[in-house]
Amino acid sequence: MSKPVYLGELLLYWCPACNVPVLGKKCSCGNITQKVSITPPGDIRPAFAHDIEHINAVSQEQFGQPLVPDDRIVVLNKAPYDDRMDEIIVDGQVIASIRFEVDRLKWVLLPRLAGARRLFQGKDLSKLKNWVILDRSALQFIVKGANVLAPGIENADPDICELDEAVVLTPDKEVVATGRARMSGERMLERERGVGVKTRWKGMPEEQATPSGGQTWDDVVRANEDILDTFIEKGHQFIENVAATVKRPVSVSYSGGKDSLAMLQLVDECLDDYDILFADTGLEFPETLENVTMIGDRYNKPIRSISVGDAFWRSVDDFGPPAMEARWCCKVCKLGPITQLIEDNYENGCLTFIGQRKYESEARARSERVWKNPWVGNQIGASPIQDWTALHVWLYIFKHDLPYNPLYEQGYDRIGCWLCPSSSLADLVRLKKTHPRREARLTQYLLEYAKQRGLSSQWVEYGLWRWKKLPLTMATLASDHGINVIPTHDPEQELTFAQTSGYRPCKEGGMSAEGSFNTAVDLSRLETTGMLRVVGKVLYIEGVASVSHDEDRAQVFASGTLTTRSDTEHRAKELMHRVELSVRRGLKCMGCGVCVGKCPNNAITIRNGMACIDSICDQCGRCLNVCPVVKFGSVGHGE
């Protein structure tokens, strides 16, 4: 389980009189609100009709009963998890969580006590599923935190399967715990030894009070009117002050997402002279492109745009699939085109208002509200909505009836490139329903790529292509399922190399470069020859070699991908070049010995027909410059 990350104040409260969410301690009706305990970072948002239908469909499948009535305001809170997980808030309570479990490739509803009581108390158990009834003598141990042991079970749904979510009831049909079944219902009824249910939430029986429903999102907007007006006024002041101070042509970066829409409306309310910028990455959803056209019409402004067409698909064979650590696509399809768009339209640069919020990520939480873009050199960026949660954004959109992207009503909580490796697997799986032709094209490419590198179809199915080095939970999943994640190297294949570089805005900062060979890299051979020691200190772990030289860093992945990071673009590219040549030497060395005599430290010897560099290497680079593989064997191209 991922650890909570605090990016800002947790702002979800609930008005008991109005029965609606409020973003502060006092409702516009005058009543004091009650704090709702949610998991950080607390980027709360509305549940649309599709979200509620999805929750109820999963609940119906698991428990035989929908969880959320139609007449309720539902708020979702994205919680840290290995994939996608949302807490479900109804009537001022977190009643459940719903998450996509990658190892099972399915959505699972995890009810809390309040949710379980809505599902089970006062209901006919014959029409419900996944219930367990305790022996009365076991109750005191369960409410104190014990798991449910099979001998302490009086009755159970015989159709419970191991790993199902289960609801634990007293003999009086009162909910006292929820958790995960550790054996089937049939085994529970046989009263075998062992844990029947591993409890997650537990407590003494109590009545489930249900406030009156019927509220709408218009009611929520009215309840938050005073709070929202304060945020809007601060946004207006920020925009006017920055525009007056920077004194450059003003532009608004529009992406087709909710944040840029709210930010555009803010700018329009206090400035007359501004442009709308849109960069079409070639990987936009069709709904996004339609929305951009609608926005131009609504604000009666031409859209200054640029499109890279099929640049991604022209480049993917050179770089391989993009990954969390190597998002070369951002540079090819986004940052480069934005640079060109600004240079073509603003001779002396521009001020661009950007819909960035601190609740989105740690990097954005650390960001200044006004900054000079290191990659787009003549652009100054500014964020008027830095302190807004997603719910602030949505209430502002609802208040002005703004034309938001319809994809939000189809289950997507973020809008961007449809195949982004930063997407959850849940969203990539959703593509099969919403955009099947796009999903099929991506899957076909990934399967062909996997086949060429000795990887299985499960590497694609479980979304493992999204990383060059798997996080621990994904590495464990791969191990448990017997999925090979180390590509195989073909020593006979000619090596070619492609590279791109640029600003790295979403991670630790600085300049990064990404590149990729056309084949997998044999890291064991690189380790044996020690060729990367010419670049810096080397550490090998499964599937990756990490190289450090002063403050510069490089990684060589078994897939053939290379990444470097430094404080300047020139140094990042230079480091990339030295790493590339060192990899070539390691893979293609024939043991000619030319490098041996050039080493002033006698660090190179010929062993088993290969030049091997010892740890006394001081990175002078003389051996690199005379190597025939380097002088006559390099095939590659730049950006």
pLDDT tier at 638, thresholds 50, 70, 90: very low
**Section 216-236 average pLDDT:** 97
Choice among 14-18, 278-282, 374-378 with the minimum mean pLDDT: 374-378
Say if CB 503 and CB 361 are below 8 A apart: no
Query: pLDDT, tens digit, for every residue of 88-142?
Result: 999 999 999 999 999 999 999 999 999 999 999 989 999 999 999 999 999 999 9
pLDDT at 234 exceeding the cut of 70: yes
Residue % of the chain over a pLDDT of 90: 71
Give dist(CA 58, CA 50) in Å, integer.
Answer: 12
Do 318 and 466 belong together in one domain? no
Do 343 and 468 belong together in one domain? no
Establish if 169 belongs to a structural domain. no
Nearest to 561 by CA among 524, 516, 525: 516
pLDDT at 24 exceeding the cut of 70: yes
Would you tell me how many other CB atoms lie within 10 Å of the CB of residue 167?
28
Give dist(CA 532, CA 556) in Å, integer.
Answer: 10
Establish if 202 belongs to a structural domain. no
Give dist(CA 190, CA 187) in Å, integer.
Answer: 5
Report the pLDDT value the prediction gives residue 331, as an integer from 0 to 100: 80
Give dist(CA 55, CA 478) in Å, integer.
Answer: 28
Residue % of the chain over a pLDDT of 70: 96
Structure tokens at 543: 């599937």
Do 312 and 413 belong together in one domain? yes
Do 253 and 380 belong together in one domain? yes
pLDDT tier at 295, thresholds 50, 70, 90: very high
Report the pLDDT value the prediction gives residue 112, as an integer from 0 to 100: 98
User: What is the number of structural domains in the chain?
Assistant: 4
Give dist(CA 549, CA 536) in Å, integer.
Answer: 5
Please give the C-alpha separations between residue 409 and each of 57, 200, 206, in angstroms, as whole numbers. Answer: 16, 31, 36
pLDDT tier at 507, thresholds 50, 70, 90: very low
Query: pLDDT, tens digit, for every residue of 46-103?
Result: 999 999 999 999 999 999 999 999 899 999 999 999 999 999 999 999 999 999 999 9
Do 381 and 523 belong together in one domain? no
Report the pLDDT value the prediction gives residue 73, as an integer from 0 to 100: 97
Establish if 126 belongs to a structural domain. no
> Structural domain of residue 36, as residue ranges?
1-48+63-111
Give dist(CA 338, CA 355) in Å, integer.
Answer: 16
CA dihedral for 525, 527, 530, 533, sign (positive or negative): positive
Give dist(CA 292, CA 375) in Å, integer.
Answer: 25
Do 229 and 368 belong together in one domain? yes
Establish if 244 belongs to a structural domain. yes
Would you tell me how many other CB atoms lie within 10 Å of the CB of residue 635?
10
Establish if 120 belongs to a structural domain. no
Do 295 and 333 belong together in one domain? yes
Do 525 and 620 belong together in one domain? yes
pLDDT at 256 exceeding the cut of 60: yes
**Section 285-295 average pLDDT:** 97
Say if CB 464 and CB 474 are below 8 A apart: yes
Task: Return the DSSP state at 108.
Answer: E
Give dist(CA 460, CA 619) in Å, integer.
Answer: 39
Do 419 and 324 belong together in one domain? yes
517 CB contacts (<8 Å, ≥6 apart)? 495, 496, 497, 560, 561, 562, 583
Strand ranges, E, within 410-532: 497-503, 511-517
Establish if 130 belongs to a structural domain. no
Query: pLDDT, tens digit, for every residue of 597-621?
Result: 889 999 999 999 899 999 999 999 8
Nearest to 501 by CA among 397, 571, 582, 584: 571
- How many Cα atoms occupy the beta-carbon half-sphere of 512 within 13 Å? 21
> What is the residue-averaged pLDDT of the chain?
91
pLDDT tier at 431, thresholds 50, 70, 90: very high
357 CB contacts (<8 Å, ≥6 apart)? 43, 259, 364, 383, 385, 386, 387, 388, 389, 390, 393
| pTM for this prediction | 0.88
Number of residues that this document lists for the chain: 639
Establish if 382 belongs to a structural domain. yes
pLDDT at 505 exceeding the cut of 50: no
**Section 570-588 average pLDDT:** 90
Do 443 and 430 belong together in one domain? no
* C-alpha triplet 324, 55, 291: angle, nearest 5°: 60
- Cis preceding-peptide flag for 41 (omega within 30 of 0): yes
CATH value at residue 278: 3.40.50.620
**Section 14-38 average pLDDT:** 97
171 CB contacts (<8 Å, ≥6 apart)? 133, 134, 135, 136, 154
Q: Rounded to the nearest 10 degrees, how much is the dihedral formed by the CA atoms of 555, 561, 567, 573?
A: 120
Helix (H, G, I), strand (E, B) or coil at 389: coil
Do 241 and 269 belong together in one domain? yes
Establish if 159 belongs to a structural domain. no
pLDDT at 569 exceeding the cut of 90: no
Report the pLDDT value the prediction gives residue 304, as an integer from 0 to 100: 95
Give dist(CA 107, CA 51) in Å, integer.
Answer: 12
pLDDT at 637 exceeding the cut of 70: no
Do 464 and 428 belong together in one domain? no
Would you tell me how many other CB atoms lie within 10 Å of the CB of residue 401?
7
